[in-house]
Amino acid sequence: MLWAALVVLSAAVILLLFRLVIIRKNLELISEELVRNRESGYNRRLTVTCNDSKLNAAAAEINRTLDYQQVLKNDAERAERSIRESVSDIAHDLRTPMTVIRGNLQLIGLDCSLSEKSKEYLDICIEKTDTLKEMADGFFELSLLESDSDAVPMQRLNAVNEIAQFIAEHEGVIRQKGLTPDIILPEKTLYIMADRRSMTRMLENVLNNIIKYSPGSFRIKVEEEKETVAVCFSNPAQELKPEDAELLFLRTYRADRSRSSPGAGLGLYIVRLLAQKQYASADARIDNGELTLRLRFKKAAE
């Protein structure tokens, strides 16, 4: 009898251990599926290969939760698309009247009978109109970029030549703003993979940021790194703190907390967006009152 009881007990223990192994294996599979589900946008469902009623009930409850997550995700995506479309429509509708208003203000400025005070007010109106148009253009461009999922056409570019040409083309604006650039270019030719149009837009946005906030000088340096070529813009920024560096790339973030400068604060956000479309990167560093914006482009094959 004792021997028979031991056999039955051993069999029960083995069966229990086998069942525990199966449950453990299913729990591991559920964990793996949850990770895959999160990475794939909540469009996968869990399955278990165990007859345990509690485990099946838990898996069914998880699937119901995932269904709800999918609904929330779809609603959020629809809402975001609707907001982008609304912003795009509003920005587009504003651009034409802003252009007309500015043109009419300029025509009024040709009137020789205007008093000096009236001309002063007129100049202020033109300046504010330019600010509004710049904001409308920025939001319109942003809506186009965020809604465009197509890859940009990459090509092999000579980074040194591109930067030198960019500086030459914008020398007039730089001098007009009273800025003194320090340009450091390597003697070695460095090739990158980028889209020329997108790269130029990135450089223009960074330069506009410098024009708005730099007190008088800035530095441009092109340097070779292990797998990338970096284009670095540095300028004094005493008002910024080291923790502000990453915030600069947030949408509508403004370094001047008083919001006294023109624009919507979209420039550097668009820079990072354009960088991502080219498999490049954009980051910032603030050390000892100096801001450095670094654009890294992937090296092209020799």
pLDDT-based confidence at residue 91 (cuts at 50, 70, 90):
low
Average pLDDT over residues 253-265: 51
d(CA 302, CA 300): 6
Look at 22 and 200; give whichever has higher pLDDT.
Answer: 200
Task: Decide if pLDDT at 291 tops 80.
Answer: yes
- DSSP string covering 190-238: -EEEE-HHHHHHHHHHHHHHHHHH-SSEEEEEEEE-SSEEEEEEEEE-T
Phi, psi at residue 72, to the nearest 5°?
Answer: -60, -40
The listed range with the strongest mean pLDDT (41-45, 115-119, 218-222) is 218-222
What amino acid is encoded at 33 in this protein? E
- Predicted confidence at residue 150, as pLDDT, reads 67
pLDDT-based confidence at residue 259 (cuts at 50, 70, 90):
very low
- Predicted confidence at residue 13, as pLDDT, reads 64
d(CA 293, CA 206): 8
278 C-beta neighbours (distance < 10 Å), count: 21
Contact 251, 271 (CB under 8 A): no
Q: Tens digits of per-residue pLDDT, 152-203?
A: 789 999 999 999 999 998 888 888 888 888 999 998 899 999 999 889 988 9
Nearest CA-CA partner of 207 in 169, 240, 243, 245 = 169
Stated pTM of the model: 0.60
269 C-beta neighbours (distance < 10 Å), count: 21
Report the Cα–Cα distance between both ends of the chain, in Å, rounded: 84
pLDDT-based confidence at residue 65 (cuts at 50, 70, 90):
confident
- Predicted confidence at residue 260, as pLDDT, reads 46
